[in-house]
Chain A
Amino acid sequence: MQNRLRYKKLFFFTGLLLWVCVANSAQKQSLHEMTDKKLAPDFVLKDIDGNEHRLSNYRGKVVLVNFWATWCPPCRDEMPSMDRAYKKFKKAGMVILAIDIGEDEDDIFKFTADYPVSFPLLMDKDSSVIRQWAVTALPTTYIVDPAGRLFYRAVGGREWDDDALIAQLMSLQKK
């Protein structure tokens, strides 16, 4: 009788442990840490307001460089969470540069009516910048560390305001 009770408890707690593992794995937002951590290719691009941004001017900060386009569904999906993360951590030094590929100001202005964001939207109209980065699909995001190195990469969208993900990014600022 005692044995049966012990097995029941064991069965219950094993099930609970597995459920917690599965639930955590479903929610976890992961970034791939680059093994070689090469220097990020520098660029100078204008944003939709006409301001120029040079990547190397952001040395000393963690920079999230996101390649996207207005017609790309997963790019659109991740924009609101990226904006929430930016609003929360801008004061802590977070920089986001979202680089649109192959479109112009008009396309992007229309997009911002539905997806308003507060970080700069840059334009790589002739796709010359994206070709210097190891990007094969949109969206792709690189996290550039304060030393200007490619530290993490995400292929496809993420929930950027995920606490664990933010902690991972902001820990680079302290290194």
Chain B
Amino acid sequence: MFLVSFFAFDAHASVLKGVDDETKLSFWEWRSDAVSIRLVQRLPDQSRAYFMARKFTSEHAEMIAQSCVFQSVFKNTAPPNKNYVVKYDLSEWRVTYKNKEHGLKIKEKWLNEWQEKNVPMAAQIAFEWSLLPTIQRYHQGDYNWGMTMYALPPGARFDLHLVWYENGIQAQVDIMDMQCGPDIRLEPVSDF
């Protein structure tokens, strides 16, 4: 029984959908024996608050808030005895929305816009390091947290095509019917 369940876990990579314990928002997660990719909705209001606290004007924070932001966690979960190198390039990921396909709005595109709009340097630095790196390489045990942005309106439903490389070999998965965080304001939770 033990052996059966052990190998079954290893052999069945899958997409999980659920509600994040901490944020109470929806998440989608891909897990295999070497890779875990978790995408958690962020509400536009969370993005407004986060970026305005980091010296963005309300106008610029609104641009980010309206761009469909997900908190993203990418991990190399291969066991220590496996010399697995996992690599990805976010510019290869594709979004399908209303039968049209487009790429993610990656960090470099945003930074060009912020420079053109003369956004303060401190805000640009905070923005740059808050996003998931566009290209990353993970050795065993490595991982990152960071925001990814999908250039879609709040609440939009879309399919996501993810691509990554395990020891140079391409892997891909489609996550269907994801949803951007809706533009709602959460009431503060009272302890009373």
Contact = CB atoms under 8 A, between A and B. Distances in A.
Contacts of B138: 155
Given A25-B81, A101-B125, A136-B133, A19 B75 contact: no
A74 interface: yes
B132 A22 contact: no
Contacts of B16: none
A171 interface: no
Interface residues of B, number: 29
Contact of A137 (B2, B121, B144): B144
Contacts of B129: 69, 72, 101-102, 127, 137-138
Grouping DSSP codes into helix (H, G, I), strand (E, B) and loop, the B interface class, with mixed when no group exceeds half, is mixed
Contacts of A74: 143-145
B104 to A, nearest CB: 16
Interface in A129-169: 136-138, 153-158
B2 A19 contact: yes
B140 interface: yes
Given A126-B121, A127-B125, A72 B143 contact: no
B142 interface: yes
A102 B55 CA distance: 12
B80 A25 contact: yes
Contact of A72 (B54, B139, B145): B145
A156 B75 contact: yes
B192 interface: no
Interface of B: 2-3, 6, 50, 54, 75, 79-81, 121-122, 125-126, 128-130, 132-133, 135-136, 138-146
Given A71-B126, A156-B145, A157-B143, 4 more contacts: A127-B129, A137-B146, A138-B129, A155-B144
